[in-house]
Amino acid sequence: MNFNKSVFAKIGFILIFIGIILLLIGFAIPVFILLSIMLFLLAIALLLSSQDFPTAEQCLTFAESKLHPGEVVISSVFVNRFMEGVTWDGKEVRGYVRYFFVFTNYFLRMYLPKQRWPWQNEEVRFSREDTMGCDTLVNYTFTNPGSRRQNFSINFWTGSVVGYTEKEEDAYQLQQAVDQILQRQRIGVNRGSTNLSQEIVELNRLMEEGLITEDEFGRAKELFLGKPKDDRDYVVKLLRNLYVLYKTDVLSESEFNMKKWDILSRNK
């Protein structure tokens, strides 16, 4: 598919080049002007056809590259999301925009895909990214107004995501993902945490700062997530103090790792 798109673009540019030559010849032989115009129109059609809109698999691959350690995809689907008062690329948006939703165990990740020319890199496929913490999810509604379109409203403490799906199976997949998140909340998977998504981001920040390794992330998560804020702050304070001692050569690397392991092994 991508190969064909690239071929369309190359042929389009070749036709433009030939059209320019025929246009120059047309000053001497007028019939060539008509031929050059026809080639220009065909070239424009081929160039427009060469634009490639990302597939669901490509969108999911991009989303997975953004996941934090310990974050797992539950479901993904294309939806038409209602936007109002939002500005990007210098334009204000009001109405329905095609989005790609990715539900994980911690976030609803929302990506705005767009068409890409064959000569552009993969990053330009997405012009917007939004996230909402699943721990702030409250409820949802789905309605079917007698058509194939399934309207939905997913409500968070921080706001609502409104839109519709064009296929009944997409609506079912989205509803199942929301149900799973709400069920995890009801059975206490978050263990009393008031903002699990922020805790994951904070843990990821510790890893980026070098206080914990990627391997230690899982152990830190068991100790850290769902704990009272005072306990979490205490753990972070200990880790930071250890890190300062390590960076100032008071502790060796093995001593730093041993003491850090001791902290992360505690069942507080």
Please tell me the distance from the alpha carbon of residue 203 to that of residue 152, in angstroms, as a whole number: 33
In a domain, 109, yes or no: yes
In a domain, 123, yes or no: yes
Residue 248, in any domain of the structure:
yes
Confirm whether 110 is domain-assigned: yes
Span 149-204, pLDDT tens digits: 889 999 988 788 999 998 888 888 898 999 988 887 776 544 444 556 666 777 77
For tokens 């500005």, what's the residue? Answer: 87
Query: Count of CB atoms within 10 A of residue 158's CB?
Result: 10
Cβ partners under 8 Å of residue 140, min gap 6: 152, 153, 154, 155, 175, 178
What pLDDT, on the 0 to 100 scale, is given for residue 226?
Answer: 61
Q: In this predicted model, what pLDDT tens digit does every residue of 27-83 receive, in sequence order? A: 778 888 888 888 888 888 877 777 788 888 989 999 998 888 778 899 999 999 988
Check: CB of residue 100 under 8 Å from CB of residue 78.
yes
Task: Note whether 180 and 60 are same-domain residues.
Answer: yes
Q: What is the mean pLDDT of residues 210-215?
A: 79
pLDDT averaged over every residue in the chain? 80
- If asked whether residues 218 and 238 sit together in one domain, one would say yes
127 closest CA partner among 117, 135, 116, 136: 116
My answer on whether 172 and 235 are in the same domain is: no
pLDDT at residue 119, as a whole number? 79
pLDDT of residue 254: 84
Are residues 76 and 126 part of one domain?
Answer: yes
Q: Name the 3-class secondary structure at 163.
A: strand
Is 70 exceeded by the pLDDT of residue 111?
A: yes
Task: Tell me the pLDDT band of 101, cut-offs 50, 70 and 90.
Answer: very high
The least confident of 104-113, 139-148, 216-225 is 216-225
Segments forming the whole domain that contains residue 120: 56-186
Look up residue 195 and give its DSSP letter. -
**157 inside domain:** yes
134/155 same-domain check: yes
The reported pLDDT for the residue numbered 122 is: 74
**Domain total for the chain?**
3
Task: List the alpha helices (DSSP H) in the chain.
Answer: 2-26, 31-49, 56-64, 168-186, 196-209, 214-224, 229-247, 253-264
Please check the confidence at residue 268 and state whether its pLDDT lies above 50. no
Q: List the structure tokens of 14.
A: 């070749």
Please report which confidence band the pLDDT of residue 11 belongs to, taking 50, 70 and 90 as the band edges. Answer: confident
Q: Quick one: 69 and 177 in the same domain?
A: yes
The string of DSSP codes covering 227-258 is S-HHHHHHHHHHHHHHHHHHHTTSS-HHHHHH
Flag whether 9 is in a domain: yes
- Residues 153, 73 share a domain: yes
Whether residue 191 lies inside any domain: the answer is no
Q: What percent of the chain has pLDDT above 90?
A: 13
Task: Give the per-residue pLDDT at 145.
Answer: 59
* pLDDT given at position 2: 47
